[in-house]
Amino acid sequence: MSQVISPRRLPLAALLALVPLAAPADDHTATAVFAGGCFWCVEEAFDPVEGVIATTSGYSGGDTEAPTYEQVTGGDTGHAEVVAVEYDPTVVDYRQLLHVFWRNIDPFAEDRQFCDVVDSYRSAIFPMNAEERELAEASRAELEERFEREIATQITDFEAFYPAEAYHQDYYQENPLRYRFYKSACGREERLEEVWGDEAGGLG
């Protein structure tokens, strides 16, 4: 399965070199891919993190090439809604991104997140190499010990990323009223506070 990158989000140097998503876009950036339910909310969670350069909503983890939103949410592709986080590893490292990720999801929810009850909204980490997988698995094990219960979040080796349609990108900024209504009605913040307390959001 070929890897797909977003021409709207990645630097020109990456496009000219046709750099795959798993490789740094240039000498100073890298990309991590996370699924945490609604990708609008995951973008909002990572954008304020110091060292994060850009976030792109998309699809990963399935078998269908270049899927549409309707196909993914219909449940036949195997993909999850994900966000590709482009970051500067000299400012923020993968371990810190994992910290933010966990504190923006319900780690106990299986094949769902908050009000979105379907497999495409599952939580998952997509490590791109052995080191990232080791860090992801260690972080999950720490949470299982901390909460004394099984963590439902999947850890799946990265294969491909397909950018979502343009209207999904930066949705929380472009459509703030609709976004806030959705987020509030979905109970995301309340559930995060219930699970994580003062750690909810992961920026503290």
Angle at 6 between CA 164 and CA 57, to 5 degrees: 35
**Residue 38 known to be catalytic:** yes
Stretch (H or E) spanning 81: strand 80-87
The CA-based angle 12-14-16, given to 5 degrees, is 70
* Choice among 38, 41, 115, 186 that is catalytic: 38
Question: Nearest-5° angle of CA 71, CA 102, CA 30?
Answer: 75
What is the rounded CA–CA span in Å between residue 139 and residue 129?
16
**Beta strand pairing status for 30-36 and 80-87?**
antiparallel
Instruction: For residues 122 and 14, give the distance between their C-alpha atoms in angstroms, rounded to a whole number.
Output: 30
Active site residue ranges? 38
